[in-house]
């Protein structure tokens, strides 16, 4: 079947950065090779019942051995940048102490291959794969993990800093806090509810310390990739409004305000956090060159129904305990991805303009560091419609004054989708998990044509 005709997208600035994203734990495989240590996800997947299809990421897409094939796909796509993550346990197997030179060698080879293909490397230093040795000592619940993270960041910058112009410290600390430490749905599988808040603070502290380490190595182009989405209130009632505000605080402002404003959005939350919080906030709010936003969907939130039988509510397919003071609701009237997520491109415009208005001059230029969807099939016209709609929404936001400098699709290829295993496909490239053959999808061809059209402009 021939490629779909490229949509007539509006023109983006000529220096706009087009990219795709992946993460080490989801694609690399080779978990026992070249001195790599175990990660919290290795331990999590080994526990029966944690992954819906019973799979693990020991092989994943075997990017560790097939990276040259994957770089060739990036070059053919015509993309400007590749956001990948460096696996902390591959570089520092125990999370602290000795640096594994063989692990850094892999990223040396990858960066060189990307540059030779004309693709800018954009490494993320942490994408959820905490070294298991550190996790067994408390993981992100303890302050020392932030300090170990900074030392690891320094080691990576010392090796790759001469060739890397864009850096990301953390990916989605909100999800690791909520799903990994609060609800136990992701690694490390702890169910601490609000006692998980120290993990949020220590990740943000680790971010600030890593920014300092990168700056000390002469790095520029530093950002963070936080997940954000508009919070919609189920009704104008006081109960629903208060519930939605609290949800928005936990998922959005708790992770943006400290980085951008140097303070937590609520004194009660700040009082629950460990350590010298005021001093830590000075480190957390180190100036950034850009701010990364991962966007997938808005969330409709109301108060728990006091008349309903006590039971879990649903958050993107994840059961939430009934004792939480908010309840996500179904968003009706929009198409859904195969993951069941509503497709709401205009919410991206809303989100970006709300960030412009809320943070003003404190907000540096923005990058959309993830945006994508799960659909089956190689002729994935629904994914094309998703990307087309979100790029138009992004352009609308920019036309209204949002300063956005780049856009990264999640993801280059199908991969290990965390607790879902291999049941969800977010890739522009199809992976046959029996043979690991790579097959570009219709969405890959559409994006390639769209990028060529942008370059001609």
Q: How confident is the model over 192-241, as pLDDT tens digits?
A: 999 999 999 999 999 999 999 999 999 999 999 999 999 999 999 999 99
Distance, in Å, from the CA atom of 193 to the CA atom of 321, rounded to the nearest integer, reads 9
Task: Provide the 3-class DSSP secondary structure of residue 82.
Answer: strand
Confidence label for 5 from pLDDT (cuts 50, 70 and 90): low
Q: Which residues are annotated as a binding site for substrate?
A: 26, 127, 171, 296, 410, 417-418
Rounded CA-CA distance 168/146 in Å is: 15
Instruction: Yes or no: say if 373 and 336 are a contact pair by the CB < 8 Å rule.
Output: no
In the CATH hierarchy, which fold is given to the domain comprising 17-456? TIM Barrel (3.20.20)
pLDDT value at 389 more than 50: yes
pLDDT 10s digits, 56-88: 999 999 999 999 999 999 999 999 999 999 999
Per-residue pLDDT of 402-427, as tens digits, reads 999 999 999 999 999 999 999 999 99
Q: How far is CA 197 from CA 3, 182, 232, 268, 435, in A?
A: 47, 8, 24, 12, 42
Q: Look at residues 29, 37, 35 and name the one whose alpha carbon lies nearest to residue 95.
A: 37
Is the pTM above the cut of 0.85? yes
By annotation, the residues acting in catalysis are 172, 370
Q: Number of helices and strands (H, E) in the chain?
A: 16, 15
pLDDT of residue 313 exceeding 60, the answer is: no
Q: Hey, which bits of 127-185 come out as E strands?
A: 167-171
Domain ranges of the chain: 17-456
Q: Are 426 and 417 in contact (CB under 8 A)?
A: yes
């Amino acid at each position: 079947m021939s490629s779909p005709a490229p949509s007539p997208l509006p023109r983006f600035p000529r220096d706009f950065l087009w990219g795709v994203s992946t993460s080490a734990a989801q694609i690399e495989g080779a978990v026992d090779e070249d001195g790599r240590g175990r990660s919290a996800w290795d331990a999590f997947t080994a526990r029966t019942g944690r992954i819906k299809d019973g799979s693990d990421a020991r092989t994943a897409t075997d990017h560790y051995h097939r990276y040259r094939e994957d770089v060739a796909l990036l070059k053919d796509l015509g993309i400007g940048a590749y956001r990948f993550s460096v696996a902390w346990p591959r570089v520092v197997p125990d999370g602290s102490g000795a640096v594994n030179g063989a692990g850094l060698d892999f990223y040396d080879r990858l960066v060189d291959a990307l540059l030779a293909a004309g693709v800018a490397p954009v490494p993320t230093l942490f994408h959820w794969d905490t070294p298991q040795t550190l996790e067994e000592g408390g993981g992100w619940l303890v302050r020392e993990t932030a300090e170990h993270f900074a030392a690891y960041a320094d080691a990576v910058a010392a090796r790759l800093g001469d060739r890397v112009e864009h850096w990301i410290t953390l990916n989605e600390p909100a999800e690791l806090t909520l799903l990994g430490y609060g609800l136990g749905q992701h690694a490390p599988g702890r169910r601490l509810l609000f006692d998980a808040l120290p993990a949020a603070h220590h990740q943000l502290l680790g971010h600030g310390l890593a920014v300092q380490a990168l700056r000390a190595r002469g790095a520029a182009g530093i950002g963070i990739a936080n997940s954000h989405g508009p919070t919609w209130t189920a009704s104008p009632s006081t109960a629903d409004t208060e519930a939605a505000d609290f949800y928005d605080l936990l998922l959005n402002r708790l992770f943006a305000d400290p980085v951008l404003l140097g303070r937590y959005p609520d004194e009660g939350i700040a009082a629950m956090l460990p350590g010298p919080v005021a001093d830590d906030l000075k480190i957390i709010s180190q100036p950034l060159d850009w701010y990364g936003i991962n966007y997938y969907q808005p969330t409709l939130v109301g108060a728990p129904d006091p008349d309903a039988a006590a039971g879990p509510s649903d958050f993107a397919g994840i059961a939430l305990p009934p004792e939480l003071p908010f309840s996500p609701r179904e968003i009706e009237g929009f198409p859904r991805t195969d993951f069941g997520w509503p497709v709401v491109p205009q919410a991206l415009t809303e989100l970006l303009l709300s960030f412009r208005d809320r943070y003003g001059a404190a907000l540096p230029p923005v990058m959309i560091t993830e945006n994508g969807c799960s659909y089956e099939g190689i002729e994935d016209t629904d994914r094309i419609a998703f990307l087309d709609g979100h790029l138009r929404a992004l352009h609308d936001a920019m036309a209204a004054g949002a300063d956005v400098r780049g856009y990264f699709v999640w993801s280059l290829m199908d991969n290990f989708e965390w607790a879902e295993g291999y049941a969800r496909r977010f890739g522009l490239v199809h992976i046959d998990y029996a043979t690991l053959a790579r097959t570009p999808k219709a969405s890959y061809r559409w994006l390639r044509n769209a990028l060529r059209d942008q370059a001609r402009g």
